[in-house]
Structure 1
Amino acid sequence: MRRGRKRKHNPLIPKHIDQSALPKDVYFDHRGEGRWYRLAFNEAGRRTRQNLCSAKVTLAELHKLIEEIDGHDTASLDYLFEQFHASPQLKRLSLKTQEDYAYCREILSNLPTKLDMPLGQLAARKFTAPMIQRIIDKLAESGPSKAAHCLRYLRRVMQWGRNRGYMDDNPAKGLESPQERKQRRLPDTVVMNALIQRAQQRGQLKRGQAGACSPYLWIAMELSYLCRLRLIETITLTDANERPEGILTNRRKGSRDNIVGWTPRLRAAWNAAKALRAETWEKRKTAVNLQPARRPIIVGTSGRALTKSGLDTAWQRFITSALKDGVLTPEQRFGMHDLKRKGITDTKGTRADKQQASGHKDEAMMDVYDLSVPTVKPSAE
């Protein structure tokens, strides 16, 4: 950093101040009632002025103020992350959002820099909009979705820090977000059924045995497909959702609930979930809740309700194994959420029938979830 000009004796400085002991780059403006200020250079090399306090302070108070400012200015990005993640504002967010923010925090904290230190160790106040844009552009090269999530996270954290004095501004605000790829994958019927069968067979293997997978995985796949459910809707089904005529859904995001009528295939998956749960609870000596709404249909190996992260981990491990064994190709790969799209697409009937079955209130959502190709008559006989 460039040094300030050599200090000379200033007769306008208050008499109680020892000018030889003044902090570096601190000067006095005698105009008006007088004010202490500081000169510094920003990252663009421009000299900036920061007003500090009135002329009435003592030399000791002036030194203390500079120490506080310097300590605050050099607070790292990791420190800002730590304060934000310990705040009540974060704890009020949904569990899914908190998991996403934890994922972005890890990426940004450990991102290498040209200074031979990770990004998280840099001073938060030194970040500028061009600097953050370069970071996001670099992340977008390996994945636009990951970069977009990190930008939204930074924007949220820095706005929180600005509102509480950790930042002078929010340099992440107004930046260009990378264009995320719209993945609307439709599982192949043969491949999907083969994977469900594979998960059912390998779920019967003992834990730790070569090729074993989570015993509940095939059940989650079946229920997601047959009932056209999101992942979170599948794992939050309880005994209260079981009705004589079928399964009462618990749809999110404003979708309408409906009852999916029983079929032999759906009943088999539902009964298998209850049997696996009973076996797990018996092994774990788990107390059975008397309230049906508190008894999840799908439970993990611990006997507690299955979490989204737990199912995500089991799914990724299963898909990786299937790819390695050649059961499916990278082009045929799909996610758990794509089973809902497959279920809607495979629903018999008109577009209106599919919309009613999916619970979507907006017809436009059929463009996202119904990938079937309609058969129509020619324009003339």
Structure 2
Amino acid sequence: MKPGPKRQYSPKIPGHIDQTALPRGVYFDHRGAGCWYLLSTNEAGRRQRKNLCGANVTLSQLHRIIEEMNGIDRDSLKYLCEQFHESTQYKALSPNTHADYSYSRDVLLTFPTKLQKPLGDLAVKKFTPALVQRIIDKIAQEGAPSKAAHALRYLRRVMQWGRNRGFVEVNPAKGIEAPKERKRRRLPDTTVMVDLIKYAHQQGKLTRGQAGACSPYLWYVMEIGYLCRLRGIETITLTDENELEKGVLTNRRKGSRDNIVRWTPRLRAAWSAAKAIRSEIWARKKVPVPMRADQRMLIVSATGRPLSKSGLDTAFQRLVVQAIKAGVMTEEQRFGLHDFKRKGITDTVGTRADKQEASGHRDESMMDIYDMSVPTVNPSSD
């Protein structure tokens, strides 16, 4: 229950009550032994009073009374999730994490139980590790191990947040065995990848709003991502500062080492096209050109502003759907934006060590994920 509008201080209210945090519509009657009451408006538009409790209750008890009247159970998983999603810790998370947590919350809150009510209505203090393990196992056994893994990570985070704030005494999701998620390591076919880039280049020349048009930046985002072995977010955050005489200075994330990718005619063509389209958009939209090189983003949206990762993902998925309908690729040949990096590492000429140096990965084991090439070796004997 949210506090009501700012009230004037009343000396007649018991001193142990924080008057600024009183529930909306709750007032104190000091006459006699004193009592708290709720003032509301009925369907006829008339004010009506409902006595709630005596004068010796605490502020938290007052809030609980109002919440129970409104059908809110403060002991439930649903209430704990609501409090977590209103917290500053949740609001500080990224939009992608918000989307993932919201999805996982809905999976858990609607999960059916033997008590003929959803999991969200159960009291969190009665949750046990065995109960959580059964829930996660059941979700995974239904053919959704990734969904189960996401739900477990979310529940573990929420329960820890609740434990630190007194909602639960222990975190029952801690130590739970996570299901093994399916690995989605797709390697785009070379011909399909080239055809998709060409198709994006072709459709990107169409006027915005014209049938079949796509975002003009898609083809060179794919080209640069593949040639420089970059993630999508690393590609769209490149600036003029990354353009060196020798080549492109990468800006890798997740602890990977940066390197300089030497210029080739293909890489130079994609980079120059990005700058040309950026200049055209900035001139047309009258966007002020930043003086500092590190503030001049290489990839911009149709408005001239820096392109967001969510905007890139949406545009790419729309292109893939369109390409499948146009016969450029099949549904089975579909791949994601991140797979351009995997394709770039796999296609890198040289030894496994050469591929690791080119990718920037510090751990050699990452080559098991990104290098999908099949080595050619000599037979054991002549």
- Does the TM-score normalized on the shorter chain lie above 0.5? yes
> Partners in 1 of 2:219 and 2:87 — Cα distance?
39
> Partners in 2 of 1:316 and 1:138 — Cα distance?
31
Residue correspondence of structure 1 range 228-267 to structure 2 within 5 A: 228-267=229-268
Q: Give the C-alpha shift of residue 217 in structure 1.
A: 1.2
Q: Give the C-alpha shift of residue 167 in structure 1.
A: 3.2
- More moved, 323-332 vs 152-161: 323-332
Aligned length: 324
> Partners in 1 of 2:353 and 2:266 — Cα distance?
24
> Residue 81 of structure 2 corresponds to which residue in structure 1?
81
> Residue 36 of structure 2 corresponds to which residue in structure 1?
none
> Partners in 2 of 1:158 and 1:265 — Cα distance?
51
> Partners in 2 of 1:201 and 1:305 — Cα distance?
23
Structure 1 residues 143 and 308, CA gap change in structure 2 (3 angstroms): farther
**Aligned partner letter, 1:195:** L
Q: Is the 8 A contact 1:250 1:257 kept in 2?
A: yes
TM-score (norm 1): 0.75
- More moved, 241-250 vs 70-79: 70-79
Q: Give the C-alpha shift of residue 90 in structure 1.
A: 3.0
- More moved, 97-106 vs 232-241: 97-106
Structure 1 residues 333 and 85, CA gap change in structure 2 (3 angstroms): same
Structure 1 residues 190 and 280, CA gap change in structure 2 (3 angstroms): same
Q: Give the C-alpha shift of residue 150 in structure 1.
A: 2.2
Q: Give the C-alpha shift of residue 354 in structure 1.
A: 1.2
Structure 1 residues 64 and 314, CA gap change in structure 2 (3 angstroms): closer
> Residue 24 of structure 1 corresponds to which residue in structure 2?
none
Residue correspondence of structure 1 range 324-363 to structure 2 within 5 A: 324-363=325-364
Q: Give the C-alpha shift of residue 133 in structure 1.
A: 4.2
Q: Which stretches in structure 2 are left out of the alignment for 5+ residues?
A: 1-52
Q: Is the 8 A contact 1:203 1:214 kept in 2?
A: yes
Structure 1 residues 283 and 181, CA gap change in structure 2 (3 angstroms): same
- More moved, 83-92 vs 297-306: 83-92
- More moved, 335-344 vs 314-323: 314-323
Residue correspondence of structure 1 range 1-381 to structure 2 within 5 A: 61=56, 71=67, 74-75=73-74, 77-93=77-93, 96-105=96-105, 107-108=107-108, 129=129, 132-140=132-140, 141=142, 143-381=144-382
> Residue 6 of structure 2 corresponds to which residue in structure 1?
none
Q: Is the 8 A contact 2:73 2:79 kept in 1?
A: no
Q: Is the 8 A contact 1:74 1:125 kept in 2?
A: no
Q: Is the 8 A contact 2:257 2:360 kept in 1?
A: yes
Give a deviation string over 1:324-366, Cα, whole Å, max 9, x none.
3333233322111111111011111122211111111222221
Q: Give the C-alpha shift of residue 279 in structure 1.
A: 1.9
Structure 1 residues 237 and 110, CA gap change in structure 2 (3 angstroms): farther
> Partners in 1 of 2:111 and 2:207 — Cα distance?
39
**Aligned partner letter, 2:175:** G
Q: Give the C-alpha shift of residue 174 in structure 1.
A: 2.8
Give a deviation string over 1:51-75, Cα, whole Å, max 9, x none.
xxxxxxx976469876656758813
- More moved, 184-193 vs 362-371: 362-371
Structure 1 residues 345 and 62, CA gap change in structure 2 (3 angstroms): same
- More moved, 269-278 vs 91-100: 91-100
Give a deviation string over 1:71-92, Cα, whole Å, max 9, x none.
5881354543343233332344
> Partners in 2 of 1:63 and 1:102 — Cα distance?
33
Q: Give the C-alpha shift of residue 96 in structure 1.
A: 4.7
Structure 1 residues 342 and 165, CA gap change in structure 2 (3 angstroms): same
> Residue 37 of structure 2 corresponds to which residue in structure 1?
none
Aligned residue for 2:198, secondary structure, equals helix
> Partners in 1 of 2:237 and 2:144 — Cα distance?
30
Q: Which stretches in structure 1 are left out of the alignment for 5+ residues?
A: 1-57
Q: Is the 8 A contact 2:156 2:171 kept in 1?
A: yes
**Aligned partner letter, 2:80:** L
Aligned residue for 2:342, secondary structure, equals helix
Q: Give the C-alpha shift of residue 181 in structure 1.
A: 1.0
**Aligned partner letter, 2:85:** H
Give a deviation string over 1:180-218, Cα, whole Å, max 9, x none.
111221111001101111111112223333222222111
Structure 1 residues 135 and 305, CA gap change in structure 2 (3 angstroms): farther
Q: Is the 8 A contact 2:204 2:217 kept in 1?
A: yes
Give a deviation string over 1:246-301, Cα, whole Å, max 9, x none.
10001112211111111111011111111121222223221111111111111112
> Residue 32 of structure 1 corresponds to which residue in structure 2?
none
Aligned residue for 1:247, secondary structure, equals strand
